Amino acid sequence: MLAAPVDPHAGLPADGDAWAFEVKWDGMRVLADVHEGRLRLTSRLGNDVTAAWPELAGLAGLHPDVLLDGEVVVLRRGVPSFWALAERMHVREARRAAALAAASPATFVAFDVLRLDGTDLTKRSWTQRREALEGLDGAAAGLRGWQLSPVYDDGQVLLAATLEQGLEGVVAKRRASRYAPGARNGDWLKLPHRRVQTCVVGGWRTETDDARRLGALLLGVWDLEPPGGGEPVLRFVGRVGSGLATADQGDLLALLAPHAQETSPFGPSEVPRVDATGTRWLDPQVVIDVRHIGHSENGRIRQPVFLGVRDDVDPATVTAG
């Protein structure tokens, strides 16, 4: 189940009796499936990512049969850091995963329970599922590697507190809502403080003084209903260079290289000449997050900063919304 964006001018729902409020965690969405003493962690795309997070193996002792929804987060100075998370998301080799786990341990923040003792809980209300989740917390006191996402009644107070503490934002959940897998139906709402845009990479350029290093990535989002109809069109929304210097250039280039192609993936007349010159085009299969300060009148992202690769997001679903 996914959270729909809130109009910043409208703000969060005010009725605390009908809505519950949680911190919006800057992490990787994961389902944690525990059955007969075995743990399987699955990304939003259905990929098995258990090997990337060896420090969460203790979740296998949480309960004999349970399916949790939550986020894996890596903390820096008490605040979730997507930078720290990004370097671990793609690791599957056991020795490297163990070394990264020791250096940057992750926590699974659980915010929903979808199955318990073989019973499907998705048709029950959020309130009933939360009660079941809190029952697990009591049964697993002292278990390392996980925590419950706290719940609050006053969204405005939480919004101010998360802003002060440098957290990503707030999620509002309708207390009576059922769990609809994969749906974004308005029963869950999100209001982030920071503007973070998920984009696909349609091309890349080298640095002007070093042809061996990435200088910029060309960014796009899918327009699923272009004017006049027809097939979806990849809209050019700018290029990002800031933040690439501190990224793992070797890993990033290795991720991009298999998707090279001769022609631009963007819609007709989408990429200005100044951006297209010197660009190596890509099939838009690599997804990244960038932080920015807004959009210009022509739809370009203003002052984007590269945050990290998102291999938990289907590139075909990356739109402006």
Query: Given CA atoms 41, 47, 49, 51 in this order, what sign does their dihedral have?
Result: positive
What is the rounded CA–CA span in Å between residue 188 and residue 171? 7
Q: List residues with catalytic annotation.
A: 24
Q: Where are the beta strands (DSSP E) in the chain?
A: 4-5, 19-24, 28-35, 38-43, 65-76, 79-80, 106-116, 119-120, 146-148, 169-174, 188-192, 195-207, 210-223, 233-240, 280-281, 287-292, 305-309
For β-strands 119-120 and 106-116, DSSP reports them as antiparallel
Q: Burial, 15: exposed, middle or buried (Cβ in 10 Å; 0-12, 13-18, 19+)?
A: exposed
Q: Where are the alpha helices (DSSP H) in the chain?
A: 82-86, 94-103, 126-139, 155-164, 249-256, 273-276
The residue assigned the tokens 């807004």 is: 294
Cβ-contact 293, 302 below 8 angstroms? yes
What is the rounded CA–CA span in Å between residue 92 and residue 85? 14
Determine the straight-line distance between the first and last CA of the chain, rounded to whole angstroms. 16
Q: Quick check: helix, strand or coil at residue 41?
A: strand
